[in-house]
Amino acid sequence: MILDSKIPAGPLAEKWTKHKFNMKLVNPANKRKYDVIVVGTGLAGASAAASLAELGYNVKAFCFQDSPRRAHSIAAQGGINAAKNYQNDGDSVFRLFYDTIKGGDYRAREGNVYRLAEVSVNIIDQCVAQGVPFAREYGGLLANRSFGGAQVSRTFYARGQTGQQLLLGAYSALSRQVANGKVKLYPRTEMMDVVKIDGHARGIITRNLITGAIEKHAAHAVLLCTGGYGNVFFLSTNAMGSNVTAAWRAHKRGAYFANPCYTQIHPTCIPVSGDHQSKLTLMSESLRNDGRVWVPSTVEMAEKLRKGQIKANDIPENERDYYLERKYPSFGNLVPRDVASRNAKYVCDEGRGVNETGEAVFLDFRDAIKRDGEDTIRARYGNLFDMYQQITGENPYQVPMMIYPAVHYTMGGLWVDYNLSTTIPGLYALGEANFSDHGANRLGASALMQGLADGYFVIPYTVGDYLAQIGPSPVNADHPEFDKSIQEVNDRIQKLLSIKGSRTVDYFHKKLGKIMWNECGMARTAEGLKQAKADIKALREEFWKDVKVLGENEELNQSLEKAHRVADFLELGELMIDDAFNREESCGGHFREEYQTPEGEALRDDENFAYVAAWKYLGEGQEEELHKEPLEFENVKLTQRSYK
Amino acid sequence: MKLTLKVWRQKNNADKGGFVSYPIDGISKDMSFLEMMDVLNEQLTEKGEDPVHFDHDCREGICGMCSLHINGKPHGPQQTTTCQLHMRSFSDGETITIEPWRAKAFPVVKDLVVDRSAFDRIIQAGGYVSVNTGGVPDANEIPIPKKIADEAFDAATCIGCGACVAACKNASAMLFTSAKISQLAMLPQGQVERKDRAEKMIAQMDAEGFGACTNTGACAAECPKGISLTNIARMNREYFTAAVTTENV
């Protein structure tokens, strides 16, 4: 199959406008004849479900949480980018586009990214109209800050809880449509399979998490807004329930999976404290605006710190190494996430880590507090400082924070074309679940932008084009494909419950996480990846022989839920390894140790690897097939990223 | 740390339920409360006993999914969510009692898991500004004084966990409902539907079977996000104003 990205022809700035005109429309009176399924209720899902219902489509929205308001978008802290140029500091749609392409290390599509930058300005208008309380200046207008690798102030924020406020905005729009009867909500419901009829996605199979009932739902189109797969690493900043299951089942039904190895390791997280750790907590990267990252200049000094013989504040200025400011004078502490993370790893590998485990660096607010006063810093980051103190028991107004990188976001995901359609017609992927806009590295404050862009402003047009083409003949779940799928889901549940082995699901999940973090984390090598592939295969076999899942299907059974998700992670992990092995270059979050510049920076190979790697599932136990979508750059020149 | 956990076990909504005690050892002070529960569940599973079911998701204090009543207090001894509560708040040898939220409008689903969909229905009754996607004014055409924006933000930080209901002797949902009514009543965007919103949301709150407010303030004292009682006063004013004035022209 030739992957057709369907990027419209013509100048970059006119592509989306022209495409919107060329797409077919569904007559207003006919919209009520179409049913659309939306899986996931985060920023992408809630905004899509609400917008489609407003247009008149009948929407069914599913989430595994007890309420759509819990989706993990809620935890995003820092902000959302938009090319409003309210600050008169030189921002523009083209600059946001350019920064995003460059930040993604030239591994994203120009057309998609430009559209993202273009609609970013509408998102802010929409959210403000909903009553989202963004930060404001004394004159009553919106405030901005600069964020994660941008040299303009284009980030809109609501203290350190921007994701929460945006999600509650989208949730309110969704709730309004539930009240209007245009959206039917299915909370505590997990998608177990996609049903295809004559090659088109025509519905899903779900499990009611309270009763265990396996149910079928038919629709004219299915939208997967199910987030990322960072929990394959066990420890990540994702919510405990975040999983790849919906996307993975779609993949096994024929949707290609693109760039699975592109993982973002976020530089500012609270370090691991012990084996009991269940998740990692992110400290918003906005902290890098005022915090300075450092470690002691010498290993000896770091050892004293680790043994508790001295405290951070005892170390004199001339024995501190502000390594980001030293190595990257023009960006300093604001270098992109992948660069900041890798450098933290380097200094810790050198033995200059600052906590007991040796895996932490300082993020110090001493100078900012001296400059702006404690009250100003509290107003900016109060909730983050409180959270830090709550978790670590230390007061960051008095001692520097300790941070270390953690898995945070996955740029890879289901392959989609310009219309957000996967390789299965009628099946769409939005937000973090798709691969399309962030290339090999996502810039800060761009995830919220993409989720809402896809849901509010892209999918209402593109899904309409598809629906207009297939026509409004009714769909129902009587087709035998639905029953076949139900049978497969039931068989799998019975298999999981009947193994009655000796190891818990978490045992396998933790083991998988360790393999992935060590060999497919911040730095990767061919040799390590080969070993990891063998280890995952062995672990997967062990899982299916020895996992212990108690209870029954016909009840709330959290072990069974986890077992399903971990079984899928065990398959996805291997594909991530394959993808990382195939990509013999370093780009963005994918760093192959064999491919680096003499200064230790990522070394891309544009001649051989300027493509999207899209993987096709061929069947149980078979190697997946690689399809390449070449990336063409007409508007930006590919350069070595430099933040020096 | 060595602890005794007295945990509410209830197979499903129809089951009567009761406390079961579990001794647990080797708990580190750095663990979060839910990580301690993970340890318990791993041990139970290994022994072949059904693990304790509880709601949780983000584990960073923002999704509002975790919901345990610990030693008689929602989210335990500190004013945080349960996921942000750490074992350093307890002492060695302590007995910890763990129950689900107790409220008629929050029926128990299993063990410590309750059904809070009543909160969703209260929001559906009017907790929004009726704007469709697209066709809205430029964001900076709606200037809002910083002080008001900040007040609205404080109300908007509610995470919908239900601790206010669990803390209240009447199981009242006034703090939750008032946070949303207040946020939108303060903002210019919320003016058009202001009266209707207050009336409809309060009617839904009553229909769900939540109790009345007697101003004891237990809700605000236990709210992990520090939502203030002022919101309840504002809601009462909104409700009163809506009742005595009219939209008719």
pLDDT in tens, A564-606: 999 999 999 999 999 999 999 999 999 999 999 988 888 999 9
All residues of chain A having their beta carbon less than 8 Å from the beta carbon of residue B156 are: 133, 158, 165, 168
Residue B42 maps to a domain: yes
A43 in Cβ contact with A170 (< 8 Å): yes
Cβ-proximal residues to A415 (8 Å cutoff; 6+ apart), any chain? A3, A255, A256, A257, A258, A422, A423, A434, A435, A612, A614, A629
Residue B249 maps to a domain: no
> In a 3-state reduction of DSSP, which class is residue A505?
helix
3-state helix, strand, coil in chain A (%, to 5): 45, 15, 40
Report residue A120 as tokens.
């970013």
DSSP letter at B189?
G
Q: Which residues is A406 bridged to in the sheet?
A: A266
How wide is the angle at C-alpha A482 spanned by C-alphas A477 and A484, nearest 5°?
A: 155
B235 and B164 within one domain: yes
Residues in chain B: 249
- Average pLDDT (A475-495) is 97
A391 and A270 within one domain: yes
Query: Distance (Å) from the C-alpha of residue A382 to the closest C-alpha of chain B?
Result: 13
**Exposed/middle/buried for residue A622 (C-beta within 10 Å: 0-12, 13-18, 19+):** exposed
Residue A318 maps to a domain: yes
Band of the pLDDT at A286, cuts 50, 70, 90? confident
Q: Widest CA span of chain B, in angstroms?
A: 70
Residue A125 maps to a domain: no
Band of the pLDDT at A330, cuts 50, 70, 90? confident
Nearest CA in chain A to B109: A210
**Exposed/middle/buried for residue B248 (C-beta within 10 Å: 0-12, 13-18, 19+):** exposed
Residue A224 phi/psi, 5-degree rounding, is -95, 115
Q: Residues A237-250: pLDDT tens digits?
A: 999 999 999 999 99
Final residue of a domain: which of B60, B83, B110? B110
B186 and B121 within one domain: yes
Tokens 């700035």 locate to A13
Least confident segment among A375-384, A555-564, B68-77, B177-186: A375-384
Final residue of a domain: which of A389, A407, A425? A407
Tell me whether residues A65 and B39 touch, CB distance under 8 A. Answer: no
Question: Given a cut of 80, is residue A66 above it in pLDDT?
Answer: yes
* Residue A159 pLDDT: 86
Q: What is the C-alpha separation between B212 and A565, in angstroms, rounded?
A: 42
Query: Which chain A residues in 72-91 lie under 8 Å from chain B, judged by CB atoms?
Result: 72, 74-75, 84, 86
Q: What is the C-alpha separation between A239 and A71, in angstroms, rounded?
A: 9
B130 and B221 within one domain: yes
Query: Distance (Å) from the C-alpha of residue B226 to the closest C-alpha of chain A?
Result: 12
Look up residue A612 and give its amino acid: V
Final residue of a domain: which of A341, A376, A407? A407
Q: What is the C-alpha separation between B119 and B205, in angstroms, rounded?
A: 8
Residue B37 maps to a domain: yes
Q: Which of B88, B120, B128 sits opposite A393 (nearest CB)?
A: B88
A272 and A370 within one domain: yes
Band of the pLDDT at B248, cuts 50, 70, 90? low
Tell me the torsion sign for CA atoms A565, A567, A569, A575. Answer: negative
Query: Distance (Å) from the C-alpha of residue B118 to the closest C-alpha of chain A?
Result: 10
Q: What is the C-alpha separation between A445 and A76, in angstroms, rounded?
A: 9
* Residue A239 pLDDT: 98
Q: Which of B35, B59, B189 sits opposite A131 (nearest CB)?
A: B189
Band of the pLDDT at B249, cuts 50, 70, 90? low
Does A558 reach chain B within 8 Å, measured CB to CB? yes
**Domain CATH for B223:** 1.10.1060.10
Does A468 reach chain B within 8 Å, measured CB to CB? no
B44 and B124 within one domain: no
Q: State the average pLDDT for chain A.
A: 96
Q: Residues A381-391: pLDDT tens digits?
A: 888 898 899 88
Q: What is the C-alpha separation between A310 and A297, in angstroms, rounded?
A: 14
B194 and B139 within one domain: yes
> In a 3-state reduction of DSSP, which class is residue B70?
strand
B239 and B121 within one domain: yes
A286 in Cβ contact with A412 (< 8 Å): no
Tell me whether residues A175 and B124 touch, CB distance under 8 A. Answer: yes
Q: Nearest Cα to A111, choosing from A2, A16, A23?
A: A16
A285 in Cβ contact with A148 (< 8 Å): yes
Query: Distance (Å) from the C-alpha of residue A44 to the closest C-alpha of chain B?
Result: 13
Query: Distance (Å) from the C-alpha of residue A338 to the closest C-alpha of chain B?
Result: 23
CB atoms within 10 A of CB A213: 12
Tell me whether residues B115 and A66 touch, CB distance under 8 A. Answer: yes
All residues of chain A having their beta carbon less than 8 Å from the beta carbon of residue B123 are: 69, 171-172, 175
B198 in Cβ contact with B149 (< 8 Å): no
Tell me whether residues A172 and B129 touch, CB distance under 8 A. Answer: yes
DSSP A184-239: EEE-SEEEEEEEEETTEEEEEEEEETTT--EEEEE-SEEEE-----GGGGSSSSS-
- Average pLDDT (A69-87) is 96
Q: What percent of chain A has pLDDT over 90?
A: 90
- Average pLDDT (A447-455) is 98
Check A249, A337, A380, A524 and give the catalytic one: A337
**Exposed/middle/buried for residue A586 (C-beta within 10 Å: 0-12, 13-18, 19+):** buried
Q: What is the C-alpha separation between A161 and A168, in angstroms, rounded?
A: 11
CA dist list (Å): A413 to A257, A524, A621 = 6, 20, 21
Query: Which chain A residues in 570-609 lie under 8 Å from chain B, judged by CB atoms?
Result: none
Q: Nearest Cα to B65, choosing from B165, B175, B160?
A: B160
Question: Given a cut of 90, is residue A182 above it in pLDDT?
Answer: yes
Q: Which of A74, A128, A558 sits opposite B51 (nearest CB)?
A: A558
Query: Distance (Å) from the C-alpha of residue A292 to the closest C-alpha of chain B?
Result: 24
Tell me whether residues A131 and B184 touch, CB distance under 8 A. Answer: yes
All residues of chain A having their beta carbon less than 8 Å from the beta carbon of residue B115 are: 66
pTM higher than the cut 0.90: yes
CA dist list (Å): B115 to A18, A302, A555 = 48, 50, 15
Tell me if residue A352 is catalytic: no
B70 and B29 within one domain: yes
Q: Residues B143-198: pLDDT tens digits?
A: 999 999 999 999 999 999 999 999 999 999 999 999 999 999 999 999 999 999 99
A400 and A302 within one domain: yes
Q: What range defines the domain where residue B68 resides?
A: 3-110
Does A210 reach chain B within 8 Å, measured CB to CB? yes
Pick among B10, B52, B55, B58 to test the A interface (most A CBs inside 10 A) = B58
CA dist list (Å): A167 to A60, A90, A104, A224 = 18, 29, 25, 17
**Exposed/middle/buried for residue A200 (C-beta within 10 Å: 0-12, 13-18, 19+):** middle
Does A527 reach chain B within 8 Å, measured CB to CB? no
Tell me whether residues B30 and A273 touch, CB distance under 8 A. Answer: yes
Angle at which helix A480-499 crosses helix A526-546, to 10 degrees, equals 90
Band of the pLDDT at B12, cuts 50, 70, 90? very high
* Residue A543 pLDDT: 98
Q: Which residues is A590 bridged to in the sheet?
A: A587
- Average pLDDT (B212-227) is 97
Q: What percent of chain A has pLDDT over 70?
A: 100
* Residue A338 pLDDT: 84
B89 and B16 within one domain: yes
Band of the pLDDT at A147, cuts 50, 70, 90? confident
Tell me whether residues B133 and A54 touch, CB distance under 8 A. Answer: yes
A520 and A397 within one domain: no
Tokens 């803390």 locate to B167
Total domains in the fold of chain A:
2
**Domain CATH for B62:** 3.10.20.30
B106 and B121 within one domain: no
- Average pLDDT (A422-429) is 98
Band of the pLDDT at A274, cuts 50, 70, 90? confident
> What is the CB-side half-sphere exposure of residue A41 using CA atoms within 13 A?
32
Query: Distance (Å) from the C-alpha of residue A265 to the closest C-alpha of chain B?
Result: 18
Tell me whether residues B152 and A137 touch, CB distance under 8 A. Answer: no
Total domains in the fold of chain B:
2
**Domain CATH for A492:** 1.20.58.100
Residue B150 maps to a domain: yes
All residues of chain A having their beta carbon less than 8 Å from the beta carbon of residue B119 are: 67
**Domain CATH for A389:** 3.90.700.10
Q: Which of A71, A159, A504 sits opposite B45 (nearest CB)?
A: A504
Q: Which of B39, B65, B120 sits opposite A276 (nearest CB)?
A: B39
Tell me whether residues A66 and B59 touch, CB distance under 8 A. Answer: no
Q: What range defines the domain where residue A290 resides?
A: 266-407
Q: What is the C-alpha separation between B202 and A161, in angstroms, rounded?
A: 27
Final residue of a domain: which of B110, B138, B159? B110
